[in-house]
Amino acid sequence: MTVICRFAPSPTGRLHVGNVRTALMNWLFVREKRGKFILRIDDTDIVRSTDAYELGIKEDLNWLGMGWDYTFNQSKRFSRYKALAENLKKDGLLYPCYETSEELDRQRKLQRVQGKPPVYNRAGLELTNAQKLAFENAGRKPHWRFKLSGETVNWNDMVRGNQSVDTSSLSDPVLIRGDGTFLYTLPSVVDDIDENITHVIRGEDHVTNSGAQIEVFKALSDRIPIFAHTPLLVGKDGKGLSKRLGSLSMEQLKSQGLEPLAICSLLSKIGTSDSIEPRFSMSVLSSEFSFSKIGRAPARFDDTELEMLNGKFLTDLPYENIKPKLLELGITDSKDFWELIRNNILKINEAVLWYDIIFKEVQGQINASDKDFCFGAAEMLPSDITDNTWLEWTNELKVKYNRKGRDLFMPLRQALTGLNKGPEMAKLIILLGSDKAKARLKNFSA
Ligand code: GLU
């Protein structure tokens, strides 16, 4: 059996860490099983869906390294959904209801007051043809509900184990709105059937949905996919991320300079039994992926952890992979420069700061009381700087000025880089060169 999975975003926004994690679970699983990955664009909501978001989602997936075997739009398949809806109507499984949303609201309020669950009362099922006609003549358009069996639906979830949803506790789901448009439930099932989807992998907010959808599957097909519902992502404080998702979009993370593989490493490992380490290819991530490693607790996403992992990813990445990234930032090939700064940056664009400090004009900033010391240091700096220069030079300065520790080193760092911390000075001063170092030791603002 070929594994076929789909990732089904709605093009009503860009991808964020939450839906990228769902995409990853599908993609990594498919890759590991040598199956097919389908990108389904859930654009049945034609008002909120835009082409720009669809393009953005595709750009995000490509950037992350998650290509697809096939893509299609639900908005192109309305006639298919209609045809199958007609079949359900013929079978008496899709029935018209004429309540307005205000009436339904009132009904639910009443049920709540009576201490009953707010489940639809199935009044639509009781209507005679004459009553339906009367509603139609009064200008009401029906919405259509799927008739649930009232039985318990069971499945073996790849993450959650044995699951059961008692459909008698659910309202018959509306599949078609009064204006004739489809809600998500039916198109998703129809597509999963037509595309021979073998595994439906999605967030656990869809568990109840799955209970109802399995009944729709049963009504339309003799095959039901295997389900995996993954725990949702929460922030490090344990709270939902919904309010922050805009700032956690791939568009944002990319513009901040985060690496796609660092993002994929983190999102595929949090909430699993694996340790969180950067990986350098998607195929390694897929070979390590298994549903059995995913825990039931929500996965905690922490921006700081992502930055740290990104830094570790860059530090461990071979120089030949770093070179093109630096070139993109306008930094010409310099392995020494990279060796110097690799442990001091968390994102590749921070290399620009150090490049400018080392290769462009920078004015140091020191305390007025360190002025003479820095002037003297400039005089004592040899014109040829080698690996030992820093040690020898600072040893001489130590004796001559009777300074040690912070008093000795900080003014030099401040005059030479303009900053209080950064890469190893013994190496930095080699790249800086003697002339520039001397000039900075004499030309600072104090
Ligand atoms: N468009 C749906 C969503 O983003 C897809 C859910 C599913 O995978 O079935 O929630």
Nearest alpha carbon, ligand 1 atom 3: 9
Tell me what pLDDT residue 243 has: 83
Q: Which of 188, 195, 226 for mutating ligand 1's site (highest number of atoms within 8 Å of CB)?
A: 188
Give the Cα separation of 378 and 358 in Å (integer): 17
One-character DSSP codes across 136-177: HHTT---EEEE---SSEEEEEETTTEEEEEEGGGSPPPEEE-
Instruction: Tell me which residue has its CA closest to atom 4 in ligand 1.
Output: 9
Q: Where along the chain do the CATH 1.10.10.350 domains lie?
A: 364-445
CB neighbours (10 Å) of residue 172?
24
Residue type, 224: I
Give residue 88's pLDDT: 98
pLDDT at 325 exceeding the cut of 90:
yes
The helix or strand, by DSSP H or E, that contains position 301, with its residue range, turns out to be strand 299-301
Which residues sit with their C-beta closer than 6 Å to ligand 1? Answer: 8-10, 42, 184, 188, 202, 206
Q: What does the pLDDT average to over 68-80?
A: 98
**Residue 242 reports pLDDT greater than 90:** no
- The CATH class, in words, for 364-445 is mainly alpha
Q: How far is the CA of 8 from the centre of ligand 1 (A)?
A: 5
Q: Pocket of ligand 1, candidates 22, 45, 206, 245: which has the most ligand atoms within 8 Å of its Cβ, to mutate?
A: 206
* CATH 1.10.3720.10 matches 4-72+187-231: no
Task: Give the pLDDT of residue 175.
Answer: 98
Q: Ligand 1, atom 6: nearest CA belongs to which residue?
A: 8
Residue 65 token pair: 């390294």
Distance 9 CA to ligand 1 centre (A): 6
Q: What is the pLDDT of residues 335-346, one digit of tens each?
A: 999 999 999 999
User: 240: which DSSP letter?
Assistant: B
Q: What is the pLDDT of residue 54?
A: 98
> Rounded to the nearest whole angstrom, what is the distance from the C-alpha of residue 300 to the centroid of ligand 1?
21
- CATH 3.90.800.10: which residues of the chain? 79-176
Q: At 247, is the pLDDT very low, low, confident or very high (cuts 50, 70, 90)?
A: confident
Place 366 in a pLDDT band, splitting at 50, 70 and 90. confident
Banded model confidence at residue 241, pLDDT cuts 50, 70, 90: confident
- CA atoms of 156 and 226, how far apart (whole Å): 8
Could you report the per-residue pLDDT of 123-154, keeping only the tens digit for each?
999 999 999 999 999 999 999 999 999 999 99
Instruction: Name the average pLDDT for the chain.
Output: 95
What is the CA(200)–ligand 1 centre distance, in A? Answer: 10
**pLDDT band, residue 307 (cuts 50/70/90):** very high
Rounded mean pLDDT of 355-362? 91
CA of 174 to the centre of ligand 1 (A): 16
| pTM of the model as a whole | 0.92
One-letter amino acid identity for 166? Answer: D
Assigned superfamily of 242-349: Glutamyl-trna Synthetase; Domain 2 (1.10.1160.10)
Judge: domain 79-176, CATH 3.90.800.10.
yes
**pLDDT surpasses 90 at 444:** no
Query: Predicted confidence band at 32 (pLDDT cuts at 50, 70, 90)?
Result: very high
Q: Which residues contact 404 (CB under 8 A, 6 or more apart)?
A: 398
* 391-402 average pLDDT score: 97
Backbone angles phi, psi at 93, to 5 degrees: -100, -10
Q: Is the pLDDT of residue 246 over 90?
A: no
pLDDT at 183: 95
Residue 245 Cα to ligand 1 midpoint, Å, equals 17
Q: Quote the CA–CA distance of 185 and 8 in Å, as a whole number.
A: 12
Instruction: Determine the residue of 26, 192, 202, 242 to mutate for testing ligand 1's pocket, defined as the one with the most ligand atoms within 8 A of the Cβ atom.
Output: 202
Atom number of ligand 1 nearest to Cα 42: 1
Cα dihedral 375/378/379/385 (nearest 10): 170
Percent of the chain with pLDDT over 90: 93
Q: What is the pLDDT of residue 156?
A: 98
Among residues 373, 369, 389, 371, the alpha carbon closest in space to that of 381 is found at 389
pLDDT band at 358 (very low <50, low <70, confident <90, very high): very high
Six-digit token pair at 227?
A: 């389900």
Residues 6+ apart with CB under 8 A from 49: 10, 11, 12, 41, 43, 75
| Closest among 153, 161, 273, 169 to 210, alpha carbons compared | 153
Average pLDDT score over residue span 7-15: 96
Q: Whose CA is nearest to atom 10 of ligand 1?
A: 9
Residue 18 pLDDT > 90:
yes
Residue-wise pLDDT for 255-273, tens only, equals 999 999 999 999 999 999 9
Asked if the model's pLDDT at residue 371 lies above 80, the reply is yes
Domain with CATH 3.40.50.620 in the chain: 4-72+187-231
- What is d(CA 167, CA 152) in angstroms, rounded to the nearest whole number? 6
Give every CB contact of residue 440 below 8 A, 6+ residues apart in sequence: 362, 363, 364, 415, 416, 432
pLDDT in tens, 186-231: 999 999 999 999 999 999 999 999 999 999 999 999 999 999 999 9
- Taking 90 as the threshold, does the pLDDT of residue 112 lie above it? yes
Given this model, what pLDDT does residue 126 score?
Answer: 96
Q: Is the pLDDT of residue 364 over 90?
A: no
Residue 412 Cα to ligand 1 midpoint, Å, equals: 58
pLDDT exceeds 80 at position 407: yes
Residue-level pLDDT at 365: 80
